[in-house]
Amino acid sequence: MAIDGVLLNRIITKMNAAVPVKINRITQPSNHEFILHCFAGKKMNLFISTHPVFSRVQWTQEKPTANMEQTHLQTLMRKHLDGGIITKIEQYGFDRVIEFHVEHRDDMGVIRPYRLIVELLGKYANVIIVNDENLIIDAQKRISPFENSQRAIVSGGEYDYPPQFDKKSFLQLASYNPDEALRNQFNGISPLLEKEITHRLQTESPEHIVEALQTSDDLFIYDNEFHIIELTHLNKTAVVKPIMEGLDAFYHDIQERDRVKSHTGDLLKLIRRELKRSRQKLPKLYDDLEKAQDSDHLREYGDLLYAFASHTGNGQSSITLKDFSGNDVTIELDPRYGGKDNARMYFKRYQKAKTSLKYLEEQIDRTEERIRYFDALQTQAEQASVEDAQEINDELLDQGIVHQRKLKRKSNQKKKKKPSYITIQYDDETTIYIGKNNIQNDYISFKLARKEDTWFHAAYDFGAHVLIKTPELDEAKIRLCAHFAAYYSKSRLGSSIEVHYTQARNIKKIPGGNLGLVSVATHKSIFIDPDEDLVLSYVNK
């Protein structure tokens, strides 16, 4: 849900309690997210989102990975704001416009004031850097005078605030007109807050409601909504948390899914395109194989034409002859040639068909393997975190399956020494490792694993390699690892999923096979209904 001006006012009040703070570093986790890594006696992260649906500013405990290539705006933010001091945070009226006042020392040692202006205006949300002369240095979204003659946002142009409607401050709620919608009378009131205030006005005074909105330190969180006062009109029980902590809790899963979508969008598109291409290619290969296998009649036609060469001549388009069984056979001819030349052409077609058999069989094997490979990648990408998606991206580039022009490796990102697999410390002596893509699976199975460790994998399916290192493997540990293997597989939504497990000594790489592909010499099986709550209770610890 969108944050309204009243809620934003309280957020800014809480944020101002921490200033002044120094900006140590600026990162950009996604296209519409910025993090200013600050310090004021302790590390603090200022989170800015210009997402069209859930834009906001806040202090956050979240530490999303910055996998974006550096944008031009981020470069300018670093130039003019990095190392600066946030001295004040202001809101423009009760509108969703926030100004961060920053003092920055330039290369000459001169302190220069800047404003980082964040406009949380839905699909028009924007981040704008403004200098001390009120001139725009740059913006996340530039708007030319041709797009908006009333309010252009261009480098070097003067900054103008978004137009405000003729409304009163919500602090004047006592003067409300009961015959008119509250959000048409007062700034900063969303439809959700309007419903709650209207509901409360039946039993509470306007002054009491305003006081509650101005003094609340908590966020009341419901299924899909939240605010800084209890939403009594919903008649539901809220989860109550401090404001900043509550924002983190509400948006954590939403923004993680959005980050993943941002990073995997092109990746999934490419994987699905390659998968579709291979699936369309396979029936054609089988059709060609069937034709090549059914080519003996071509040799027979050649033999007949040689045997009856005297019966054929130039200009004939077909001839009917008795085959070696005494049956009539009509053979098509090229009228430009005589019988022997047509016979040679049929022999040539026969030899070509037989020669293509081996090639077609190899192509079918490769195409079927490619389908399995991209089907597995699709499952992995659909379940991927941002880090997982980057590793899949790197895998496709490293193996030459796609070219650099289709997928870009982050130029400023060094390749990690080890993949970002999941590690679970079950107890002091037991550790469980879970791979969510081919790079992680290969590392876990052939770098981390020792012969005596136990390896798990969903049977006959694409999914995680799970490895447990423990001095004693009891039933509880077997079942837990089976839950992990089943949950992180293509069949995660199914029931009674078969999971194979065996000692790591029994798994081998398949020579020439794709990354993460193994053969298993011997195994045991367990059937499990994957429990998402159980899995996430360990993974999210």
Q: Is 239 in contact with 227 (CB distance < 8 Å)? A: no
Q: Can you give the pLDDT at residue 491?
A: 86
CB neighbour class for 363 (10 Å; exposed up to 12, middle 13-18, buried from 19): middle
In the 8-state DSSP scheme, what is residue 41? S
Q: Can you give the pLDDT at residue 412?
A: 45
What percent of the chain has pLDDT above 90?
A: 59
Q: Is 263 in contact with 381 (CB distance < 8 Å)? A: no
Closest C-alpha among 407, 412, 432, 408 to residue 421: 432
Q: In one letter, which amino acid is 341?
A: D
3-class SS letters over 213-230: HHHCCEEEECCCCEECCC
Token pair listed for 352: 């070509």
Please give the class, per CATH, of domain 263-416.
Answer: mainly alpha
320: part of which helix (H) or strand (E)?
Answer: strand 318-322
386: part of which helix (H) or strand (E)?
Answer: helix 386-398
Q: Is 367 in contact with 288 (CB distance < 8 Å)? A: no
Q: Can you give the pLDDT at residue 68?
A: 61
Q: Can you give the pLDDT at residue 520?
A: 93
Q: How do residues 21-67 score in pLDDT, each as one tens digit?
A: 999 999 998 888 999 999 998 999 999 999 998 899 999 988 776 65
Q: Can you give the pLDDT at residue 26?
A: 94
pLDDT per residue as tens, the chain (541 positions): 689 999 999 999 999 999 999 999 999 988 889 999 999 989 999 999 999 988 999 999 887 766 567 889 999 999 999 999 999 999 998 999 999 999 999 888 899 999 999 999 999 999 999 999 999 999 999 999 888 878 999 999 999 999 888 889 889 999 999 999 998 999 999 999 999 999 999 999 999 999 999 999 999 999 889 999 999 999 999 999 999 999 998 988 787 777 777 777 778 888 899 899 999 999 999 998 888 887 888 888 888 888 888 777 778 888 888 887 888 888 889 888 888 888 899 889 888 888 888 889 989 988 998 898 898 888 888 888 878 888 888 888 877 766 654 555 554 444 556 888 999 999 999 999 999 999 999 999 999 999 999 999 999 888 999 999 999 999 999 999 999 999 999 888 888 999 999 999 999 998 877 888 899 999 999 999 999 999 999 998 7
Q: How do residues 108-130 score in pLDDT, each as one tens digit?
A: 889 999 999 999 999 999 999 99
**Dist. CA 104–CA 522, nearest whole Å:** 65
Partner residues linked to 507 by β-bridges: 520
**Dist. CA 188–CA 470, nearest whole Å:** 57
- Domain ranges across the chain: 5-139, 179-237, 263-416, 422-539
Regarding pTM above 0.85, the answer is no
**Dist. CA 409–CA 64, nearest whole Å:** 19
Phi, psi of 219 (to 5 degrees): -115, 130
Q: Can you give the pLDDT at residue 66?
A: 61
Q: Can you give the pLDDT at residue 507?
A: 95
**Dist. CA 311–CA 339, nearest whole Å:** 8
In the sheet where 97-105 sits, what is the strand order? 56-60, 43-49, 33-39, 21-30, 85-91, 97-105, 111-119, 126-130, 136-139
Q: Can you give the pLDDT at residue 411?
A: 47
DSSP readout, 446-479? III--TTSEEEEETTS-B--EEEE-S---HHHHH
- Strand segments, DSSP code E, in 5-96 are 21-30, 33-39, 43-49, 56-60, 85-91
Three-state DSSP class for residue 383: coil
Residue 243's alpha-carbon distances to 34, 62, 219, 257, in angstroms, are: 20, 14, 5, 22
The CATH number of the structural domain formed by 5-139 is 2.30.310.10
Measured on CA atoms in the order 419, 425, 431, 432, is the torsion positive or negative? Answer: negative
Please tell me the number of Cα atoms within 13 Å of 275 on its side-chain side. Answer: 14
